[in-house]
Structure 1
Amino acid sequence: MKWHQAEMGVVFHYDLHVFDGLVYGQGDNRINPVEDYNIFNPEHLDTDQWIRSAKAGGAKFAVITATHETGFGLWQSDVNPYCLKAVKWRDGKGDIVRDFVNSCRKYGVMPGIYVGIRWNSLLGIHNFKVEGSGEFAHNRQQWYKRFCENMVTELCTRYGELFMIWFDGGASDPNGLGPDVEPIVSKYQPNCLFYHNANRADLRWGGSESGTVGYPCWSSFPYPFSHSNATEDKNEHTRLLVHGDPNGKYWVPAMADSPLRGYNGRHEWFWEPGDDDRAVYPLDDLMDMYEKSVGRNATLMIGLTPNPDGVLPEGDVKRLQEWGNEINRRFGTPLAKVSGEKKSLTIKLPEKQLVNYYMIQEDVTFGERIRDYRIEAKVDGKWQTICKGSSVGHKRIESFKPVETDAIRLVVNECLDTPVVINFSVYYSEG
C-alpha cells in the first residue's frame, strides 16, 4: 500500500565518476577502477536542496545509491574501506547517506537505499562473479557474499526505518553467486520494500526505462519475484513485466522508471558534463509520462543527477517545480467526484461544461476487482460511451476528446466482486 500510495518517487545517482569530467560509460565503468578516489569533492553538498526539489516535483519517497558499480560507499562503512572514510573531503568524516536520510525526514519524504553489488570495478566483480578459478575464486566468492551481507546489515541498522532497499540488477540467488540479503532486510527493516533477488520482489520493473507502462497494467503477477526463469519465452516474460497478469497469484505491482535527463537522445542516470541545457525532458513529455505510469496503476521513479558541486543543476530544479505545479493544476481539483461500492457511479455537474479527463481509484486492499468498464457522458439527453477500459487498480487516469455534459457515469461491465471505488472524478484541462 505504501508503494501504491506514494505514486511518485526519485532515485539519486551519485558516484566517483561524476567528478572525472567524462561522459559516463557503463561498460567501461564496470571494468576500470577510478584511479584517484580523491576526485570526490562535492564542496557545496546540499541534500536538503535535493529533497526539496524532489518533493516539489511530487515525490513521496527518495532513494540514494549508497554504492554503485565502482564499489565506492557513500557512508561511513566499517565493512567497506573503499568509502567516504578514505577521501580527503570533510577529512574523511562525511556520510552522504546520513545527510540524505536526515533531509528526507526533515521534508517528510520516505528514504530508501540502493545497493549495487552486481558489479564492483575495484574488486573485479562481474555479474556477481569474482575473477579467477579453483579454490582461490571459491574462497573469494564466499568472502564477497559475506562482505555484501555485512554492508547491507550496516545500511539496515544505522538510518532508521527505510521505505525501500533496492538491489540494482538484483541480489542474485543466495544458493548461487549472490549473498543472502533478504533475511537481513526482513529482520532489521520488516516494513521495508525489497527489490529484489531470485526469491522475492515486492514490485516489478515495468519493462522499459521510458517512465511509462503499457495498458492494461495489472498489479497481480504469476510469480513472487519479477525476474523469474519460470518462462523461457522472453517475449512472454516482457509482456508480463509490462502488463502483469489479471489472474496472477502474487501482488507484484509495477514500477515505471526514467531519468529526468532523457531528452534529445540522452539517457542520463548520472550527471554528465555539457548537458545541463539540453537533456532535461520538456514539461509536456513529463506529463505524458505521468499519465502513462501513475495513470496506469504504476508507481513512477525519476532519476535525478547531483553534479560535482553536490547540488541538482538549476534547470533540473526548475523543471521539477514546473512538473509538480502542472500535476496539481491538472488533477488537484476535480470538477466533481463520487465514490461507492457498486457497479455504476454517476457524477452530476451543476451545469453543462467541458470535460476531458476522468480518474478512477479502487481500494486495492480488496484487490483489483474491476475487469472491464466504460465511461459514458450524457449528451443531448442520451448516454454516449466516450471511453472503455479494463485495469483500474490504485489509479486510472485517461484523457478523451472534450465533451460538453452535465453528467458522466462509470459503468462496470465485469468484476470479480462488488467494486470498491474510492474515487471517480472528472476534470477539464487545456494543457
Structure 2
Amino acid sequence: MFRYIFTFLISSFFCSAVFAQMQQRPVPNAQQLAWQKAELGVVFHYDLHIFDLSKYVQSKNRSIPVYDYNIFNPKQLDMEQWVRSAKAAGARFAILTATHETGFALFQSDYNPYSLKAVKWRDGKGDLVKEFVDACRKHDIEPGIYLGIRWNSFFGVHDFKVNGTGEMQKERQKYYNAMVEGMVKEICTKYGELFEIWFDGGASSPEKGAPDVLPIVKKYQPNALFYHNEQLAEARWGGSESGTVGYPCWSTFPYPATGAGESTGKNISANGYALLKNGDPNGKYWVPAMSDAPLRGDNNRHEWFWEPGDENTVFPLEKLVDMYYKSVGRNSTLILGLTPDNTGLMPEGDVKRLAEFGNEINRRFHTPLADVKGTGKITTINLAKESDVNHISIGEDISKGERIRKYKIEARINNRWKPICEGTSVGNKRIQMFENVKTKAIRLIVEESIAEPIIDSFKVFNVQ
C-alpha cells in the first residue's frame, strides 16, 4: 500500500510541476491575440501642419506652435474614402492620430481647448474621431486611436515635461497632466470599443511626473491593445520604421515594457535594437512585434504626413510585397502609415497603390493548394495530384504560446523525402518561398519544441 501511495504522490507532484511550468510559459491575452491575427493595419497621420503647404520638419513641429489653427480646413473631407483605401489594402484595423506633436486634438474635447472646438471649420463642431470610428465600423474595420502626448508645441511640452522652472512649471505640469488624462478618458468613453490605443513614443509613467494613462485605458477600454508606456507594452516596436523585422522574430520578450523607442535603455537598444527586432524565445512576457513604415517611404523619403509634391515617394508594389514577407511572414503585425491630404482625401496614387497591394497579396495567398492542421512533430499534406509548389505558410495556435523552436520542410520527390527549407520561429505566421518543386506530398517536421507543437495552419502554394 505504501508503495502505491508513494507512487501516487510522486506522480501528483510531477503533474503539478509540469502544469506549473506550462503556466509559466507566456501566452497572449485576448487583445494581443486579436491584434496578431489581424496581421495588417494602417495608421492615418493627420495634423494642423499639413495645411501650411511646407515640408514637415519634426524638430520645428515639436517646438514651434502653428501660427493660426484656422488653417485647418479640409474642404472635401471623406473619412469613408480613407477607410475604403485601407480595406482595399487588406487592412483589418485602422488607427487615427487624434493628437500628434502640435497638440491639436481632432475631436470635441472638454479638456483640451486646442481642438476642433476652437476652429471655424464646421463652426467648431467637427469631430474627426467620431467620423473615423463610424466609417471603420461601417466598413468592417476595427478602429484604434493614436494619442501624441510626449510632445506638444502649443503647450510647450518636450518629452512629457512642460517647459519652465519653479512653481509656474509645476502648476503648468499639473494642468497638462490633468488635461491629457481627461482627453484619454474622453477617447476611451465617447466612441465605443476600440481595437488599440497607441501612445506616440510611449507614455512614460506617473513616477516620472508624466500623465497617468494606463489605469484609464484599462478601466474604460479593457479589450483594447495598450501600446504603450514604461509600465506595460502589449506590443513592441519592431526596431525600425522599415516595415520589417529580423528573423527569427519571437513574440516573447524578457521585459513587460520596452521603453520609448529611440530613448529606451541600453539593454533594449543595444546592437541596433536587435532585441526589439528578434524578441527572445525564453522571454517571460508576451510582447509581439509591430513592423511599421510610411507608404510614402521610397526615393529616400520617409513621410508620415502628407506634403505637396511627394507623389513619387509611394513605395512601388514589389517593395510593399517584400515588406509583407518580412513582417507578416515573420510573425509580426504590419502597420502602414497613410497620408490624407489637405483637401481631406487620400491621394489618388496612394489609393491605387494600396488596392494593387491588397490584390497582389490576395492573389498570392488567398487560395492555397492545400491547408491542414496538426499536432505533434510531423504534419503532412497529401496533394490530390502532383503539383508545382514554391511557398509554404505555417501558423501555430499561439493562444497556447510559441512552442516550435526549430523545423524543416520536406517534399516527396521521386519517392524520397528531400529537404527544401528550414527555420526557427513560427508564431502566428511564417511564410517561406523556395525554388519550385514538383510533388504530391510535403511535410513539416518540428525538430525542436518546448511542448507538443499545435499547428493551426500549414499551407502550400504555387505562386506565379
Say whether the fold is shared (TM-score over 0.5). Answer: yes
Over 3 Å counting, the alpha-carbon distance change for 1:9 and 1:104 in structure 2 is same
Aligned match of 2:433 in 383, 387, 399? 399
Match of 1:247 in 2: 282
In 1: Cα distance, 2:131 partner to 2:89 partner: 20
Deviation at 1:383, TM superposition (A): 1.1
Following the alignment from structure 2 to structure 1, what is the Cα–Cα distance between the partners of residues 448 and 61?
Answer: 51
Aligned letter for 2:276?
L
CA contact (8 A) 1:67 1:115 kept: yes
**What residue identity is the alignment partner of 1:265?**
N
Equivalent in 363, 376, 379 of residue 342 of structure 1: 376
**Distance apart, 1:177 and its partner CA:** 2.7
| Aligned partners of 2:268 and 2:276 also within 8 Å | no
The equivalent residue for 1:378 is: 412
What amino acid maps onto 2:427 in structure 1? G
| Rounded Cα–Cα distance in structure 2 between residues aligned with 1:226 and 1:188 | 23
- Tell me which residue corresponds to 1:307: 341
Sort the Cα spacing of 1:319 and 1:233 in 2 relative to 1 into closer, same or farther, 3 A: closer
Q: Is the 8 A contact 2:205 2:231 kept in 1?
A: yes
Q: Is the 8 A contact 1:221 1:247 kept in 2?
A: yes
State the Cα deviation string for residues 157-185 of structure 1 (Å, max 9, x = none).
10000011100011112111311100000
Find the aligned partners of 2:126 and 2:290 in 1 and give their Cα distance. 32
List alignment gaps of at least 5 residues for structure 1: none
Which whole-Å CA distance do the structure 2 matches of 1:330 and 1:232 have between them?
A: 39
Counterpart of 1:364? 398
Question: In the alignment, what sits opposite 1:390?
Answer: 424
Q: 1:259 aligns with which of 264, 283, 294?
A: 294
Residue 140 in 1 paired to residue 175 in 2?
no
TM-score by length of 2: 0.91
For the aligned residue pairs, the C-alpha RMSD in angstroms reads: 1.2
Which position in structure 2 is the counterpart of 1:234?
269
Give the match for residue 37 of structure 1. Answer: 69
TM-score normalized by the length of structure 1: 0.98
Deviations 1:362-420 (A, max 9, x none): 10011001110000111222111111101000110011111111111100000111111
Determine if the alignment matches structure 1 residue 183 to structure 2 residue 218.
Answer: no
SS at match of 2:352: helix
Partner of 1:66: 98
The letter for the 2-side match of 1:337 is D
Tell me which of 170, 195, 212 is aligned to 2:227.
Answer: 195
Q: Does 1:353 align with 2:353?
A: no
What is the rounded CA distance, in whole Å, between the counterparts of 1:56 and 1:36 in structure 2? 35
Change (3 A) 1:353 1:232: closer
Which secondary structure state, in structure 2, belongs to the residue aligned with residue 301 of structure 1? strand
Q: Within 2, Cα distance between the matches of 1:234 and 1:5?
A: 27
**Worse-matched range after superposition: 40-49 or 127-136:** 127-136
Name the aligned partner's letter for residue 393 of structure 1. Answer: G
1:270 to 281, 299, 305: 305
Q: Which amino acid aligns with 1:213?
A: V
What secondary structure does 1:33 align onto?
A: coil
Is 1:231–1:237's contact at 8 Å kept on the other side of the alignment?
A: no
Deviations 1:283-335 (A, max 9, x none): 11111101110011000000000001101001111111111111110000001
Which AA in structure 1 matches 2:444? Answer: L
Letter in 2 for 1:311: L
Matching residue within 163, 180, 184 for 2:195: 163
- Show the counterpart of 1:204: 236
Pair 1:41–1:402, CA change in 2 (3 A):
same
Could you say which residue in structure 1 is the equivalent of 2:154? 122
Q: Note the C-alpha offset of 1:346.
A: 1.1
- Looking at structure 2, the residues matched to 110 and 234 of structure 1 have their Cα atoms a distance apart, in angstroms, of 31
**Matched-pair contact (CA < 8 Å) for 2:202–2:229:** yes
Matched, 1:76 2:108: yes
SS in 2 for 1:9: strand
Distance 2:445 2:254 in 1: 28
Output the amino acid matched with 2:253: F
- The question of 1:104 aligning with 2:136 is answered yes
CA distance in 1, matches of 2:248, 2:170: 46
Structure 2 gaps of 5+ residues are 1-32
Structure 2 CA distance for aligned equivalents of residues 75 and 231 of structure 1 = 37
What secondary structure does 1:175 align onto? Answer: helix
Indicate the structure with greater helix content: 2
Q: Could you tell which deviates more after superposition, 335-344 or 355-364? A: 335-344
2:155 aligns to what SS in structure 1?
A: coil
1:251 shift after superposition = 0.3
Secondary structure, counterpart of 2:151 in structure 1: coil
Q: Find 2:444's aligned residue among 410, 422, 426.
A: 410
Partner of 2:34: 2
Q: 1:321 aligns with which of 346, 351, 355?
A: 355
Q: Is the 8 A contact 1:42 1:308 kept in 2?
A: yes
The alpha carbon displacement at 1:348 in A equals: 1.4
Distance 1:225 1:363 in 2: 24
Label 1:243 to 1:35 Cα distance change in 2 as closer, same or farther (>3 A).
Answer: same
The answer for the alignment partner of 2:453 in structure 1 is 419
Cα separation, 2, equivalents of 1:283 and 1:231: 36
Q: Percent identity?
A: 62
Whole-angstrom CA distance in 1 between matches of 2:317 and 2:194: 31
